[in-house]
Amino acid sequence: MIYRQESLYSYLLRRRLLNAVINEPHSLAGTGVINALTGQFVPIPMADAHIYCGRVQDVTLFKRKYFLTSDHALLAEGLTHSDYFINWTGFDESGLGPASTIVTNNLSLDIGEQPQPVEIAEPVVFIGGDTIVEPNWAHWFFEHLLKLRVLDICGVELNLPVIVSHRLPRRFLEWGDLLIGKPINWRPLDLDQPLQFRDAFVASCPAYRDKARHPHIWKQGFEHLRQHMSALLPEVEPTHCTFFSRQSSKYRRAENERELYEIAMEVLNARLASLGALSVLDQLQSIRETHTAIFFGGADGPMSLFLPPDAKTIEITAPGHGAFYTCLAFLALDNMLYSRVEARAFVGEAQGAHPLNRDYLVDTASFISALSKLADV
């Protein structure tokens, strides 16, 4: 069956189901980071995000994250962090090939016949959250969590069932409870099965790249998240260099992480932390106690949003990894201290569809040089 592409915003306007626009997209002034090794300001152009909420009616959840409407539109733009591609198993799994061209040129898609969906007849909230699961939680943080804040601002009653993937761990959901200030009526479901929503409240994605691949981030929303979550804990003096391990991840790990940690201990007296093993409040406390953070480009990086204002960050990334929505986007909002060490080479075969899903080797000389300069700043 042929479906035409349509943005979530266009659909809501067309169907007169738009509740409110919270923020219009516009350029953000002065975003960038200060190179932690040289002190030089590095501009990072970003735009404030288009933030809105509304309702979808008689739509079918497709491939866990898109909607098919009753009049044959495919809604993808506005729902996820990557408006410049669509992807699913069996159709351009990375989203970087033919699908990118299809999206850019707004072409129709033949998605074939679909199985009979499971009907959700009662009014619900749908915020997504099945793109990345434990331990890789970054997408939950920047792609879905703040949708709850948007809906709350719009006056949507969050005592309605909030549909999420049954694969999400309780720790992810606890962030939502703490953000809203009360237990949310979570309803975990298997999103591999198509679901037909008769009436569902939805919100736009708070951090994304548009079709021209320009990054957008909801500045006010992430500032609120930082202030609200930080206020849950007492003030603390940042006294540690913290090395945030990535060994619990499935891929994009440093093969020589242990050696890198030993170097960080020797040069900066670093402590080791594995955020995935901690409760939400312990995660926040670990970040707030950190004056120098060493992250690997991936799931833990968005926690840099909660670092103290004068903290320094070193991020280790895979070769060629843009790693924008890991540390960089959040640190650039407040011109924080940041530098990057890019790995020397990939090791082994790619795991999954994305070419970056491989482990890598970090040049120890480059790492020692970066940490030594950081210690002298």
Percent of the chain at pLDDT > 90 equals 74
Name the pLDDT band for 147 (thresholds 50, 70, 90): very high
In whole angstroms, give the CA distance from residue 199 to residue 37.
52
Which residues are CB-neighbours of 292 under 8 A, at least 6 positions away?
Answer: 240, 241, 242, 268, 270, 311, 312, 313, 314, 374
Q: What is the structure's pLDDT at 277?
A: 86
Q: What is the structure's pLDDT at 99?
A: 81
207 and 299 housed in the same domain: no
Secondary structure of residue 134 in the 3-state scheme:
coil
The CA distances from residue 292 to 36, 241, 324, 373, 377, in Å, are 10, 4, 19, 13, 12
173 and 208 housed in the same domain: yes
The answer to whether residue 302 sits within a structural domain is: yes
Last residue of a domain, one of 185, 208, 228: 228
The answer to whether residue 133 sits within a structural domain is: yes
12 and 126 housed in the same domain: yes
What average pLDDT does this structure show over 201-220?
Answer: 95
107 and 255 housed in the same domain: no
Q: What is the structure's pLDDT at 325?
A: 94
Last residue of a domain, one of 212, 228, 244: 228
What average pLDDT does this structure show over 66-84?
Answer: 92
The answer to whether residue 42 sits within a structural domain is: no
Rounded to the nearest integer, the mean pLDDT of the chain is: 92
Q: What is the structure's pLDDT at 61?
A: 96
CATH number where 321 lies? 3.40.50.360
pLDDT digits 0-9 by tens, 272-307: 999 988 999 999 999 999 999 999 998 899 999 999
Beta carbons within 10 angstroms of residue 269's beta carbon: 11
The answer to whether residue 56 sits within a structural domain is: yes
The answer to whether residue 295 sits within a structural domain is: yes
pLDDT digits 0-9 by tens, 45-63: 999 999 999 999 999 999 9
Name the pLDDT band for 95 (thresholds 50, 70, 90): confident
73 and 194 housed in the same domain: yes
Name the pLDDT band for 312 (thresholds 50, 70, 90): very high
Residues spanned by the domain of 341: 233-376
207 and 254 housed in the same domain: no
Last residue of a domain, one of 228, 250, 279: 228
Name the pLDDT band for 353 (thresholds 50, 70, 90): low
User: Could you give the number of structural domains in the chain?
Assistant: 2
95 and 191 housed in the same domain: yes
- Maximal CA-CA distance, the chain: 63
197 and 343 housed in the same domain: no
What average pLDDT does this structure show over 261-266?
Answer: 98
353 and 219 housed in the same domain: no
